[in-house]
Chain A
Amino acid sequence: MLSEIAKKKISELKTKFPERKSAILPAMHMVLEEVGFYNKDILKQVAGLLGLSEMEVAETVSFYTYFPKEGVGKYHIQVCTNLSCMLLGAEGLVSYLEEKLKIKVGETTPDGIFTLSAVECLGSCGTAPMMQVNQIYYENLNRAKIDQIIDDLKMKK
């Protein structure tokens, strides 16, 4: 799954920190960038490249929620539903997206393009409601903006 370049980059992380385990999160960020998700085999590969045991890598990775698992769509739409966004209509935003994408929160469209998640505060409360699609923030959202964003993403595929 990982390209040779990514593999090389990950194994270089092995000596970057005073302790090897420190390289787990940086390696997973590389995995996210390169593959977009992780699975059992990728964890195994990362462990091998870092000279760690599979267990060490799996335990640590399972603690964090940022790395999507295999099965996530090409575009991972994460809507902040925490308090500030909720006060300004995050729930409406979620249902609008559900309606538009014809999936429920936690699901992926059958074509594998979109996954919709409701997430915790993304540090953008002053521009609520907002969402993150893969690594990009979209803020001060309303229906018109959502229509535009989804259409653009669909075009790009």
Chain B
Amino acid sequence: MVTLTIDGKQIIVEEGTTILKAAEKLGIEIPTFCYHDQLETVGACRMCLVEVEKIPKLQVACATVVSEGMVVRTDSPQVVNARKGVLEFLLINHPLDCPVCDKGGECELQNLVFKYGSDKSRFVEGKRRYIVDPKSKYDDLAIGPHIIRNMNRCIQCRKCVRFINEIAGEDDLGTFKRGSKTEINILPDIPIDNPYSGNVTEICPVGALTSKSFRYKIRVWQTEAIPTVCPQCADGCNIRIWKKDERIYRITSRRNDEVDEGFLCDKGRFGFDFVNHPDRLKNPLIKKNGKLSEAPWDETIKFVTSSFMKIKGETGSDSLAGVGSGKVTNEDNYLFQKFFRSVIGTNNIDHRVDSKNLLPSPDTQIRNKYFGMKNTINQIANSKLILVLGCDLEKEHPIINLRVIKARRKGSSILVANPVSTRLNRFAQNGLLYKQRTETDFLNGVLREIIETKQYDNAKSGFSSSEIEDLRRKVSSSDSLKALQTTGIGAENIKSFVNALVKAESIIILCGAEIISNPKNVEIINSLYDLIRLTGHQDKDNSGVNLLWKHSNSQGTLDCGILPDRLPGYVRISGKPGLNFNLMLEAVNQGKIKAMYIMGSDPLSEYPDREYVKSTLGKLEILLVQDILITETAKIANVILPGASFAEKEGTFTNVEGRVQKLNKAFDPLADSKADGQIICLLAQAMGHEFEYRTPKDIFKELTGVSPIYSGMDWETLGLSKKQGKVK
């Protein structure tokens, strides 16, 4: 620990801390332009110069490490003059177009000039221009599908290029020439088009890089920023919706270091069109004479509930089934299962419409193999080896992908094994391509190599010698040897793969959709657990097997009991379990299920056999679909109920690592649409049940009472602070 004094205040900080960080702890703000805590420090802008006693020159606070007894001044005339000097230098060539610049109102240069700068310009020569088109006086240049560059406003902090290189691991943006001619640019005709490009518009302190979709639409101060959570994938990035009236203008990051470290993927940032889409469902629709037509809510509710009651009365509760979704909130899902279990009286509940091969349901007490992530997102960057298996990580989990790239930057090894090459392969020390569906054979080969070459950690593995022997026999059988040949991976590759695995100090395995819906998913996951054990990592913090669910609330949907055999919190059903989605389809074909209520899912697009689902669901007496757009499934429904989008409701999502985060409502549901939970309440009430919840908060409170894994979580502190609930 080091003691130092800044502006007369003493503070004790860890060794290696910079003056900037130490000052921050004291609440002393030192202005910066080029500094970004996720990027390597370059100390280039010189805005953070401070005075350090006994050192004649001013020092950059961002890069100067504290030392014992150091005395720092951040407010002396010398420091203030230096700041003024830097600002003046930046301003001489900066256009004075703040009133039209898109960054106006949130520009770091503008803010600091207000604070320290002088408003009298001493610069009389012509400002530097980077002319893009001699015929136009605007020097705007589209450098990618999302990004517009105006080099005249650039202050050359290079945070954009550094982000693209260091964080995203890309190099489609670069720095050219030198000195006062330095230019940030793409290569001719090669636009910046990586899945993280939008971050540069946020990281740019000035209006040099702006987003095509937002610029000139509205001024920031006319909008309101609503903190919420991204609905696009299970990573659960924290975002802000910038809205005015009933419209989203843009989405930006609401940095949460446990999850996103302040970055978003372009899909999350720019893919909000669906909210304000003209095709949004606005009213309930009932199919009459083969045609869907608008109907008032009360009529529709009456029609649905009387149909449900009729079927229940005629052929029993189990003739109905409910399909929830990983895309709606915990509260919606909780009510959904409650509706089916207590109002309808059936356990025919599921949400896994995208696979024929379902994993067993987890149990309450243990963090079960089939639970999701064993590790936290943050631990990924700390693992010495990361194995990505059956997953196109950049596409499926863009933000987790950044953690893997971060680990790589910190020197970890990356192994990737997939049926096809993915973009992550460029960082892989070993990128193996196996033939589809040969995962188990490949893994057996890996385990065999470890066992036969005696490279396992006997002491730490906890395997008894007979267990090892069993495993050895299994993976060394002539069948498995033969099978190994079908994987398409040569013995040499297995060897070097194993070599990396046994050397690693920690191993995190990430499995994606390809594994989760694999016919041999259970076997694969067991092999991976064996692998972690054999290498002696089973109880370690930065090691483990992780299943990466697909949807923004896949984990929460499981947690809330949208399963035929588990109540919320994975409490086992006491009686007979209900049917899972595959069995539901069979039951429909056998005439046993007559009505289905699908909330937020689209089996026609998601199920592996579209025609089968389509013809099966077509046989239902009642197919009720509740969604925000006319999905493929909705097109064949008898009744459609218009739900609300993520921007129009409150509630919680549980991300892939079990972090419960709060969604906030940006505006009311569009037209006559309603939040899913509210619709369920209307249905339940119409069927004579007391579903009296004033807000999602009430539902969440009930959920925390019912579900052992959510107990103790507090709605008020969820999401708004960094204190999100974490599934136990």
Contacts and interface: CB of A to CB of B under 8 A. Distances in A.
Asked if A and B form a direct contact in the complex, defined as CB atoms under 8 angstroms apart, the reply is yes
Interface of A: 40, 53-56, 58-59, 62-63
B176 interface: yes
B187 A54 contact: yes
A62 B174 CA distance: 11
Nearest to B164: A55
Given A62-B176, A62-B177, A63-B178, A55 B188 contact: no
Contacts of A55: 171-172, 174, 187
Contact of B176 (A40, A53, A54, A58): A58
Given A62-B176, A63-B178, A56 B188 contact: no
Nearest to A58: B187
A63 B171 contact: no
A59 B174 contact: yes
Interface string B168-194: 000110111110000000011010000
Given A56-B171, A63-B178, 9 more contacts: A40-B188, A54-B190, A55-B174, A55-B187, A58-B187, A59-B174, A59-B175, A62-B178, A63-B177
A54, A55, A58, A63: which has the most chain B beta carbons within 10 Å? A55
Nearest to A44: B187
A51 B175 CA distance: 20
A92 to B, nearest CB: 28
Nearest to A64: B178
A58 B176 CA distance: 8
A40 B187 CA distance: 9
A56 B176 CA distance: 10
A62 B177 CA distance: 5
Contacts of B178: 62-63
A132 to B, nearest CB: 21
Contacts of A53: 171
Across the A-B interface, the 8 shortest Cβ-Cβ residue pairs: A62-B176, A55-B171, A59-B174, A55-B174, A63-B178, A62-B177, A53-B171, A59-B175
Contacts of B190: 54
B177 A58 contact: no
Nearest to B165: A55
A63 B183 CA distance: 10
B136 to A, nearest CB: 24
Nearest to B175: A59
A56 B161 CA distance: 12
A55 B172 CA distance: 7
A87 to B, nearest CB: 25
B249 to A, nearest CB: 32
20 contacts: A40-B188, A53-B171, A54-B187, A54-B190, A55-B171, A55-B172, A55-B174, A55-B187, A56-B171, A58-B174, A58-B176, A58-B187, A59-B174, A59-B175, A59-B176, A62-B176, A62-B177, A62-B178, A63-B177, A63-B178
Nearest to B173: A55
A40 B176 CA distance: 14
A59 B162 CA distance: 13
A62 B188 CA distance: 13
Contacts of A63: 177-178
Contacts of A58: 174, 176, 187
Contacts of B177: 62-63
A53 B174 CA distance: 11
Contacts of A59: 174-176
Contacts of B171: 53, 55-56
Nearest to A62: B176
Contacts of B175: 59
A51 to B, nearest CB: 12
Nearest to B178: A63
A55 B161 CA distance: 11
A99 to B, nearest CB: 29
A58 B190 CA distance: 13
A54 B189 CA distance: 12
B469 to A, nearest CB: 46
A58 B175 CA distance: 9
Nearest to B186: A55
A156 to B, nearest CB: 34
A63 B176 CA distance: 6
A98 to B, nearest CB: 24
A53 B171 CA distance: 8
B630 to A, nearest CB: 43
Contacts of B187: 54-55, 58
A146 B194 CA distance: 54
B174, B177, B178, B190: which has the most chain A beta carbons within 10 Å? B174
A93 B190 CA distance: 43
A80 to B, nearest CB: 19
Interface in B173-224: 174-178, 187-188, 190
A55 B188 CA distance: 10
Nearest to B176: A62
A141 to B, nearest CB: 29
B174 to A, nearest CB: 4
Interface in B12-26: none
A30 to B, nearest CB: 22
A59 B176 CA distance: 5
A58 B189 CA distance: 14
A117 to B, nearest CB: 16
Nearest to B190: A54
A55 B191 CA distance: 12
A40 B190 CA distance: 12
Contacts of B176: 58-59, 62
A113 to B, nearest CB: 28
A31 to B, nearest CB: 18
B122 to A, nearest CB: 28
Interface in B237-289: none
A55 B174 CA distance: 7
